[in-house]
Structure 1
Amino acid sequence: MFSEIGSKINRLRLDKKLTLKELSQLTNLSVGFLSQLERGLTTVAIDSLDNISKALGVDINYFFTLAKEQNSFIQKSYEREIVFMDKDNFIQFHLSNSLGDKNMFPRLVEVYPKRDNETVLTYTHEGEEFIYILEGILTYYYDGEKTELYPGDSVHIRSTLSHNWENNTNKIVKLLMVSTPNRFHESQQDAPAQKI
């Protein structure tokens, strides 16, 4: 994964006609570190990658590949890919190789501890959500109520009522989440028909 991130950084940097020294000045990261990163010889912390993404004018998720649609109905743990990363809040991993023709959207989510100055706002959207807590304690908001969820606890809601979560502990919370509608299935259905 890190060699792929490094090559994307290199491509973007060259497209923007930046030298390693100029990128170093924009990110406060050493030229040597950036050089090693571009060649896939070192790992990068999320905060540093966020600095690089801002300097190169892309969202941090640009560096993470969406899971590729495969024909297999089985996904091995080593095949799991990051689908979304929010450096301050959570990481999502796909749990399916074939989402295009499915109604449910399953994912593994890791929720990071909330920062002191963060405000959690509830939101609504179409569909349903099922959440199962695997590890840690999650604070869950639903329709004006606040609940603490522990490993083994689950929630199954209509997403049309206000909801959200936060991690008020100092450890990562891991949860299984399955929701509808599946935005990958919708995007295929909503694709414009080709003119013949």
Structure 2
Amino acid sequence: MPNDPSIQIEPERPAVGALLRAARRSRDYTLQELSSRSNLSIGYLSQIERDIATPSLGSLSKLAAALSVELGHFIPIPNARGLITRAKDRDTIWVREGGMTYERLHGEFVGASFSAFLITLPAGFTTETDQHFGEEFVEVRSGRVLFDVDGQDYDLGVGDTLHFRSDLRHQARNPDLQETVLFWLGNGPKFQSRPDITAEQQS
């Protein structure tokens, strides 16, 4: 069959695990060194590199900072769209096919301090256990989610909300056979270089 020049086929992107391993080795970091720099456990880093575990955007941000690379090194990051996002063409981000998806709601401007997403958890999906600076607010838009925050369990249904400090260990799980959609607001990873960050500050 002749090739149709009007059809653009993007090359398959390497898995996150392979990209992380290559970046780590290019800097001659051991798993121990990367663990110390990123504050993620050696065992968890090993699972990410073998594509057993799917890291959250927060963990990928920590790894990008530890390796002095952009978050876009690991996953495609859409360009900023200014102050407004239209429902019909919002950017959707994912780390690995079959994992969580993040639909970006927040805008981009100098001094912005939080991020907002619609997060979809596939049926039976469990997030990593996370702990970081800041706070988070979650509202269940559809489905059900079980949150563990600092050892306390919260069973949330449609319309329920949860607001907690992010420095408490936390994890979410979708226990059902249908996907769960959450509205999430918090101190999340920054996907773009802010206009107020100069090249010298990034180096």
Quickly name the TM-score band, shorter chain normalised. Answer: 0.5 to 0.7
**Residue 179 (structure 2) pairs with residue 172 (structure 1):** yes
Secondary structure at 1:129's aligned position in 2?
strand
How many residues are matched?
A: 138
Q: Provide the residue aligned with 1:109 in structure 2.
A: 119
Shift of 1:123: 2.3
- Distance in 2, matches of 1:95 and 1:64, equals 18
Q: 8 Å contact 1:92–1:110 — kept in the other structure?
A: yes
CA contact (8 A) 1:65 1:81 kept: no
Q: What residue is the counterpart of 2:77 in the other structure?
A: 66
TM-align CA RMSD: 3.3
Q: 2:103 maps to which residue?
A: 93
Alignment of 1:143 with 2:135, yes or no, is: no
What is the CA–CA distance in structure 2 between the aligned matches of 1:88 and 1:113, rounded to whole Å? Answer: 10
Q: In the alignment, which residue of structure 2 is the partner of 1:8?
A: 10
1:98-157 per-residue CA deviation (whole Å, 9 max, x = no partner) reads 266411100110001126xx7x65221111111110000101110101121001111111
Identity among equivalent positions (%) equals 22
> Whose radius of gyration is greater, 1 or 2?
1
2:87 to 77, 96, 99: 77
8 Å CA contact 2:77, 2:191 repeated in 1: no
Which structure dedicates a bigger proportion of its chain to helix? Answer: 1
- Mark the CA change 1:132 to 1:11 in structure 2 (over 3 Å): closer, same or farther: closer
Q: Unpaired segments of 5 or more residues in structure 1?
A: 13-49, 51-60
Per-residue deviation, 1:69: 1.3
In structure 2, C-alpha distance between the alignment counterparts of 1:79 and 1:109, rounded to whole Å: 16
Distance change in 2, residues 1:181/1:134 (3 Å): closer
Q: 1:181 to 1:100 in 2, by over 3 A?
A: farther
In 1, Cα distance between equivalents of 2:147 and 2:160: 11
In structure 2, give the amino acid aligned to 1:8: E
Structure 1 segments of 4+ aligned residues over 6 angstroms from their partners: 61-64
Query: Given the two structures, how large is their TM-score scaled by the length of structure 2?
Result: 0.57
Give the TM-score normalised by structure 1: 0.58
SS at match of 1:8: coil
The answer as to 2:137 corresponding to 1:127 is: no
- Structure 2 gap segments, 5+ residues each: 1-6, 15-50, 52-71
Distance 1:153 1:99, change over 3 A: farther
Q: Which of 135, 153, 169 is the aligned partner of 2:160?
A: 153
Q: Which amino acid aligns with 2:122?
A: Y
CA distance in 1 between counterparts of 2:97 and 2:117 reads 17
